[in-house]
Structure 1
Amino acid sequence: MNETSLRRSLVEIFRLAYARKLVDLLGGNASARLSNDEVLITPTSMPKILIKPQSIVKIRLDGTIISGSNPSSEWRMHVGIYKARNDAKFILHTHPPNILALSRAGLKIDLSLSEAISYVGEVVEVPYLKPGSAELANAVSKAVSRRGVTAVILRNHGLVTLGSTPYEALNRAEVLEDLAYITLISNCSSK
């Protein structure tokens, strides 16, 4: 994909994530690897429905802004993942309510349901760390350093999914959110 189509794809999956209630109006972020040293990332504090391809910020892996302004406050986490995983092409960070409820309740998603595991891969969890912090970026980067890991639950914060396409990253978030809902309902009805 060229830069223009990557920008359009980021806008589209972000709008789909908003429509699916995986993020609120100002929360969450998405990025795409443009080259070995350049990343496209959504801007901070911009309503999801207003993001346009030209709103996407281009940064280097060291955080230097190439074009645009004000990348997501989670840019450190995104570039850390790209540094840890050369195969990571797209990253989606969401705040799915069912996953947050499970995390808050101390429960784990049941990945044995349906063919979910074939869509998702390995899911790991990191403890709560301040959003946007270097500590969170380091913890997530370390968590995804194993090849099979495609999703990281950020305890009491949200979810990060990786994909070879933006739709794969979004699908992983959707599947995990659906499984979290099923797990919650199952736990409520069994008590």
Structure 2
Amino acid sequence: MSVALITLIVGLLVFTGRGTWQGNLTINAVLNCLLLTLGVGLAEELIFRGWLWEELTLIIGATGGMLGQAALFSLVHTRFNLGILPMLGLLTGLFLLGLVLALLRYRNHGSLWGSIGLHGGLVGAWFLVHQNLLTITPSAPMWLVGPGGSNANPLGGVVAILSLTAIAVYLLQHTERMQFYHPKNSAYN
């Protein structure tokens, strides 16, 4: 899923002439990408979809916990120096990502591996593309690359927001309903 999302954005950048493929791939870049993928994916998923979701579920229930962890995930990751509209776009994209990651955990009966893979894959792949494989022109539209200028976060762009919305809707429609209130009131049951 992460490769598909990044490929969509990269494809649109190259197709519109707003990105030039450089293909500058080194072993150091690949190692950085792998460390980011594993480190960020594992650490943040343990915190947000593991611990935080479980704690919020105990306090406000499973659905509230799911929405709460996604909201806190978006607040922790946004940049508040972007201006109102870019910041709202980034908050929306990050919230949707937090929701999709939680739905993946729910769909996988509590396993975090799918969430770790998607989250880490997005971080690592965007790092590799943005730092080594693609030169993005300064005139690249924010609706495509997201806010942040030279450090753009594509999650705040329209393409990512629509893609994450479609994934969330798909997961909601195609995930088997499980008992929401387990005796332990666990987030994934």
TM-score by length of structure 2 reads 0.29
More helix by share: 2
Larger radius of gyration: 2
More strand by share: 1
